[in-house]
């Protein structure tokens, strides 16, 4: 979408207005807001100090001064306001906006529409035309975020109030009650999840909204610690199986196996000579897998562990009993 150079240029042109304010900017804030490490920031500042306007005498170059954690730039009046939104930025806002409106996350979409209208006016007529054409061609599907529980969850998120959940854990196949501190909504693979600090697990957990059986507001507020330690990549990061996980080996018919593997990025795959596919993965709980495998019927067989094979057999028999 954009080259490395233009990405860096855009970042630096935006950094200067923050640095050119009288009070300067804090180094740690800059690193956090621009999502860069200190080394990158130092490099950016070094580069900026070599830039300026003709005749490039010391008085024509930008000058950085660092005082404690604060850094400030002077002699950069021409960069004191940010660069207008670029095409990519406008496109990103429009793609995100239309996805959110369709999913129903905005109860009242009027405010979003008028805000996007104001963004569109920032573009040149050529840019506006391009945007309108391209937005129609990009779509991020998210399941509808709606239902009666939504208002309670929204209230918990907005006012920072804890929630009491009755939750169906698919992986353990049990419904349990817990108190959680809500911090965010995340859409992953099309599903909505509530991200919250879970008191019973002592960690952040993702709760798929369609697996929440009931929700109530609790009296307790979300703690500052929870809000501050939250970061999306850390919480939604790749699942790392612990020592207690089971090693599972499954044999699938060819086409089906390749499709399944796309849903399990962490699995290892081996294609056998007869066209079938052996999939190996690690999981902490077998309960969910036993149910999940039912839909593959004759296209799957369990090579191990035996406990899983037994669980699948039992589940299959329990289902069959309902159909006789």
Partner 1 sequence: MDKIERLINLTACLLETRRPVSYAELKNTVYRGVSKTENAVKRMFERDKDELREMGIEVETVNTEQAGEVAYIIPRDRYYLPHLQLDPDERVALTMVSRLFLGSGTPFSVPAQLALLKLAFEEQAAPAEVPHVHWVDTPRGGELLGEVLDALVRRKTLTFTYRALSGEEPAERTVEPYGLFNKNGAWYLVGFCRLRGDTRSFKLERIVGAVTANQSQPKTPDFDLPEDFDLRSATDWGWPGAGGDHLEAKVLFKARLAFAAAAGGPEPVSRRERADGGLEAAYLVNDPAEFVEWVLGFGPDAVILSPEPLREMVRLKVRSLAGERGRP
User: Which member of 27, 41, 64, 119 binds partner 1 (CB under 8 A)?
Assistant: 119
Smallest distance, partner 1 to C-beta of residue 92, A: 4
* Cβ contacts of 208 within 8 Å, gap of 6 or more: 170, 191, 192, 193
| CB of 121 or CB of 243, closer to partner 1 | 121
Q: Give me the torsion for CA of 45, 49, 53, 57, rounded to 10°.
A: 180
Smallest distance, partner 1 to C-beta of residue 274, A: 12
| CB of 74 or CB of 175, closer to partner 1 | 175
Query: Could you say which residues in the range 139-158 bind partner 1, by CB under 8 A?
Result: 139-143, 147, 149, 154, 157-158
User: Which member of 66, 74, 83, 272 binds partner 1 (CB under 8 A)?
Assistant: 83
Measure CA of the first residue to CA of the last residue in the chain; give whole Å: 57
Smallest distance, partner 1 to C-beta of residue 156, A: 9
Place of tokens 């240029």: 9
H or E element in which residue 130 lies: helix 125-135
- Does position 112 interact with partner 1 (CB under 8 A)? The reply is yes
User: Which member of 7, 151, 216, 307 binds partner 1 (CB under 8 A)?
Assistant: 7
Question: How far is it, in rounded angstroms, from Cα 95 to Cα 98?
Answer: 5
| CB of 4 or CB of 244, closer to partner 1 | 4
Query: Could you say which residues in the range 20-79 bind partner 1, by CB under 8 A?
Result: 33-35, 47-48, 50-56, 77-79
Give the interface segment with partner 1, choosing from 64-72, 206-214, 216-224, 244-252 (CB under 8 A): 206-214
Look up residue 60 and give its two tokens. Answer: 């024509």
Query: Could you say which residues in the range 268-297 bind partner 1, by CB under 8 A?
Result: 275, 290-297
Smallest distance, partner 1 to C-beta of residue 119, A: 8
**Which of these, 159, 142, 264, lies nearest to 209 by C-alpha position?**
142
Question: How far is it, in rounded angstroms, from Cα 289 to Cα 297?
Answer: 13
- Give the orientation angle of helix 4-19 with respect to helix 38-49, to 10 degrees: 80
Query: Could you say which residues in the range 167-186 bind partner 1, by CB under 8 A?
Result: 168, 173, 175, 183-186
Sheet containing strand 70-74, edge to edge, reads 25-26, 70-74, 63-67
Total residues contacting partner 1 (rule CB under 8 A)?
A: 129
């Amino acid at each position: 979408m954009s080259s490395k150079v233009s990405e860096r240029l855009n970042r630096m042109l935006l950094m200067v207005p923050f640095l050119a304010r009288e009070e300067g900017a804090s180094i740690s804030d800059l690193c956090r807001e621009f999502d860069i490490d200190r080394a990158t920031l130092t490099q950016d500042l070094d580069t900026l100090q070599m830039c300026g306007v003709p005749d490039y005498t010391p008085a024509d170059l930008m000058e950085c001064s660092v005082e404690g954690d604060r850094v400030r730039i002077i002699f950069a009046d021409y960069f004191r306001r940010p660069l207008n939104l670029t095409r990519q930025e406008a496109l990103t806002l429009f793609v995100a906006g239309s996805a959110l409106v369709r999913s129903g996350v905005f109860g009242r979409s009027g405010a979003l529409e008028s805000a996007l209208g104001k963004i569109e006016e920032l573009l040149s007529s050529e840019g506006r035309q391009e945007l309108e054409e391209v937005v129609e061609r990009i779509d991020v599907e998210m399941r509808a975020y709606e239902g009666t529980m939504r208002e309670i969850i929204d209230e918990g998120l907005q006012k920072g109030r804890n929630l009491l959940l009755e939750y169906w854990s698919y992986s353990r196949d049990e419904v349990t009650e817990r108190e959680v501190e809500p911090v965010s909504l995340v859409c992953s693979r099309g599903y909505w999840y509530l991200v919250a600090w879970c008191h019973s697990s002592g960690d952040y957990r993702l709760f798929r909204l369609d697996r929440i059986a009931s929700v109530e507001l609790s009296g307790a507020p979300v703690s500052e610690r929870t809000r501050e330690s939250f970061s999306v990549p850390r919480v939604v990061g790749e699942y790392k199986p612990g020592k207690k996980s089971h090693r599972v080996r499954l044999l699938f018919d060819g086409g089906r196996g390749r499709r399944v593997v796309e849903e399990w990025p962490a699995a290892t795959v081996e294609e056998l000579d007869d066209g079938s596919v052996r999939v190996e993965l690690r999981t902490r709980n077998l309960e969910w897998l036993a149910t999940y495998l039912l839909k593959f019927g004759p296209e799957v067989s369990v090579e191990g562990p035996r406990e899983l094979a037994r669980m699948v057999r039992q589940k299959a028999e329990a289902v069959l009993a309902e159909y006789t």
